[in-house]
Structure 1
């Protein structure tokens, strides 16, 4: 069933906020009464009406360079995520965070955001076999013996060579964002190109029941780019961002996109290009504005039907966020739900999937609206049923750093944001579903004035927020009363933690950068923090991982592994030149101190490196598309 709810143009909850700062510290955000949100959506009578509506919208936005700045697409980006739930124990004004059961990796080896919600990664495992893409092939390796042994290899289409994957039973689901097929079969998109051309979101399902005889069951190519994918209870959901695929011209050159060759014609002036682009829009039919799909190499077909599409009365823009729902056991059936919006962040719990986009300030550079206030709009989808359905939208001031900035607890969404500009500060806002709206019910701000958020870790009634510019303030935020969140404590230290992980009772491990008192970063660092007293959090240990070094954990927490039973954290570390790659093992002691437990030189880039926990206590180290070693983490070289 195809369903579309177009909502970006809705008048979502309007807020007026006032920061009341006492003594320069964090402040409660005072909220006025929210305006009522418009909820009426109008269905298109037919494709002609849809085309007229979209043409009018596009004509307002088109330039000599098409829609936007002429650059579209980008590499697939499965960005950072948040945390699994951790039990809290009562103590004082807020339930104290305890980590009696420290968070480990998910069932398929990935350090995931939410327990039971799996995320795509460069490698997956079921404990006995690993699945990874190497040189355009899906490779299956047996990791039960003393040495890794390849037992299966399947050649993939070119548009899947940079894919990430989910493992769901005896199915591997692959995701990538690819360039258009311009005569050479398509390539995985690794950089932005000029002239702009539509990217494709690629989703494929492989039967891996017999690794020695794997088969491709489904290959689906959709206009747009993959934002994220999640798996929960055997159901896979993929979020795709699309723009209209119109063959615009550009000043100075004429491009023949199917052949990627310059036409034999005079160069266009900006005025001529704009006139031609307006003519292209006026001649476009309805399907030119909606994403299309190609299934198993077949002809293009609409992903959405005109009579399924509804829209707000006002201009909602031209972007489309589609959420595709699929059971990998039956990949031929895909349910699609969409909203008229752009999107750049995705967060999913076991009940809701949220898509967020930031607008205003520098985020609206293309529209010349840099002076407007930066806000983040959030759209919520219900994922408790077999089909995915849109439920509500809301808005908060500021921008989110990444998906670590989101958390859901007891049906409420919590978001950590930073305001734009030189007078920046960070806030934590709580939203509650009220009919079709995500209403703000509480917020606290004023954290890290002049700084921006580097990392967030969420617990049931607690948030740990790290900001940075010159020093690293770590804030503890009480969320026990969602209508009145409050900052309880603050710790200021040089450097910052880009990722936080619970490793014991009242104990967090952070991975980030050392820094001077003036804010100059000097190298990779791991730290442990004691949060037993939320009013006075403290750093227990700061352990350098090497001057002028960097860890991928800072940008991609999926590369972090914590072996809870062994008390060992595994962190990929590299030199700035990329020629000193190693896997560092860090031991977390009962008193919270942190020491080096050994390391393993890898000899290749750490990007995509993973250390997968195996049932026998060993780890499978994957780098460069292959299992490079099976190792005992207790026996790594010191």
Structure 2
């Protein structure tokens, strides 16, 4: 990731001369944070900036001079695409896991200590099986007042999320697919991935399940949780697909979900408990 979130811890025992005790640099963009009794829980999002991997085609100048329906254009594209894939495979082979996932840099006492997120064999990572995103959302629980820096972290591979938190539950809601994915896939519907965490303990975050519902979530005010029931308001339809001649009309829905266990996989999941749909046809949530 090319962005960093910085936390600075000050010793303010002498209020007239605060002293910097520790500085933490977390790879990723800051989304939100909360401090409770010396423990900070923060959510960041980092885009995987993979060195040497190219997601576009470097087409030769002569390609653009050819007629649009010239079969040579297709031949050139296929050759360039094949070579690009070979180059990408070589670049990926040179990478280690630490090159792909966020790191934490601690500066204290004139020294920099790197805390790698791969020490736990990636057991703190969850990802949708059909996800296409190259981003990682991280939930850090940081003990900023301990003499030795201590932290606990959970990661979700996905798009930039909306974040909702109560005193006991934290929810990440992120688009299941990037907007470009629907270009040429008119039959696909917008979906939202939901990931829930137990944050009742100030120094730990416990993953409690994931689910997917139709539609898009506007912001954190479209989410709430009460006594184990998650409520999500989304807008469905193809209202954002400006290139379509006859997109599916939009409307909104309110869906409730509860935690459950998939008996086949043993995974923690969120299952639909109820819904009200068809709200305000032709309009979306603002």
Given the two structures, how large is their TM-score scaled by the length of structure 2?
A: 0.73
Q: Partner of 2:278 in structure 1?
A: 446
Alignment of 1:60-75 (within 5 A): none
Q: CA deviation at 1:277?
A: 3.0
Q: Partner of 2:49 in structure 1?
A: 245
Q: Partner of 1:406 in structure 2?
A: 223
Contact map agreement 2:53 2:92 (CA 8 A) in 1: no
Q: Partner of 2:176 in structure 1?
A: 359
Alignment of 1:263-278 (within 5 A): 271=81, 274-278=85-89
Q: Which runs of 4+ in 1 moved over 6 A?
A: 310-313
Q: Partner of 1:615 in structure 2?
A: none
Q: 1:448 to 1:441 in 2, by over 3 A?
A: same
Alignment of 1:218-367 (within 5 A): 218-232=22-36, 234-248=38-52, 271=81, 274-296=85-107, 298=112, 300-305=114-119, 307-309=121-123, 314=129, 318-330=134-146, 332-360=149-177, 363-365=178-180
Q: 1:231 to 1:433 in 2, by over 3 A?
A: farther
Q: CA deviation at 1:209?
A: 4.3
The answer on 1:433 being equivalent to 2:259 is: yes
Contact map agreement 1:243 1:289 (CA 8 A) in 2: no
Q: CA deviation at 1:286?
A: 2.2
Alignment of 1:121-270 (within 5 A): 198-232=2-36, 234-248=38-52
Give the whole-Å Cα distance in 2 for the aligned partners of 1:370 and 1:384.
41
Q: 1:311 to 1:380 in 2, by over 3 A?
A: closer
Contact map agreement 2:250 2:283 (CA 8 A) in 1: yes
Give the whole-Å Cα distance in 2 for the aligned partners of 1:204 and 1:369.
47
Say what the alpha-carbon RMSD is for the aligned residues: 2.9
Q: Partner of 2:238 in structure 1?
A: 421
Q: CA deviation at 1:243?
A: 3.5
Gaps in structure 1 of 5+ consecutive residues: 1-196, 253-268, 455-638
Q: 1:311 to 1:350 in 2, by over 3 A?
A: closer
Q: 1:232 to 1:359 in 2, by over 3 A?
A: same
Contact map agreement 2:97 2:118 (CA 8 A) in 1: no
Gaps in structure 2 of 5+ consecutive residues: 59-78, 240-248, 262-267
Q: Flag the structure with larger Rg.
A: 1
Q: 1:430 to 1:334 in 2, by over 3 A?
A: same
Q: CA deviation at 1:321?
A: 2.2
Aligned with 2:258: secondary structure? Answer: strand
Give the whole-Å Cα distance in 1 for the aligned partners of 2:30 and 2:151.
16
Give the whole-Å Cα distance in 2 for the aligned partners of 1:452 and 1:416.
10
Aligned with 1:452: secondary structure? Answer: coil
Q: Could you list the per-position Cα deviations for residues 432-461 of structure 1 after superposition, in whole angstroms to 9, with x for gaps in the alignment?
A: 12241221111112222221112xxxxxxx
Q: CA deviation at 1:217?
A: 2.2
Q: 1:312 to 1:413 in 2, by over 3 A?
A: closer
Q: 1:323 to 1:313 in 2, by over 3 A?
A: closer
Contact map agreement 1:399 1:420 (CA 8 A) in 2: no
The answer on 1:373 being equivalent to 2:203 is: no
Q: Could you list the per-position Cα deviations for residues 215-266 of structure 1 after superposition, in whole angstroms to 9, with x for gaps in the alignment?
A: 22221222222222223455321112234332236666xxxxxxxxxxxxxx
Greater relative contact order (Cα 8 A, min sep 6): structure 1 or 2? 1
Q: Could you list the per-position Cα deviations for residues 264-303 of structure 1 after superposition, in whole angstroms to 9, with x for gaps in the alignment?
A: xxxxx96565543332112212222222221116154412
Give the whole-Å Cα distance in 1 for the aligned partners of 2:224 and 2:126.
29
Given the two structures, how large is their TM-score scaled by the length of structure 1?
A: 0.35
Q: Partner of 1:395 in structure 2?
A: 212
Give the whole-Å Cα distance in 2 for the aligned partners of 1:314 and 1:335.
24
Contact map agreement 1:405 1:417 (CA 8 A) in 2: yes
Give the whole-Å Cα distance in 1 for the aligned partners of 2:270 and 2:236.
20
Contact map agreement 2:126 2:155 (CA 8 A) in 1: no
Q: 1:347 to 1:419 in 2, by over 3 A?
A: same
Alignment of 1:48-127 (within 5 A): none
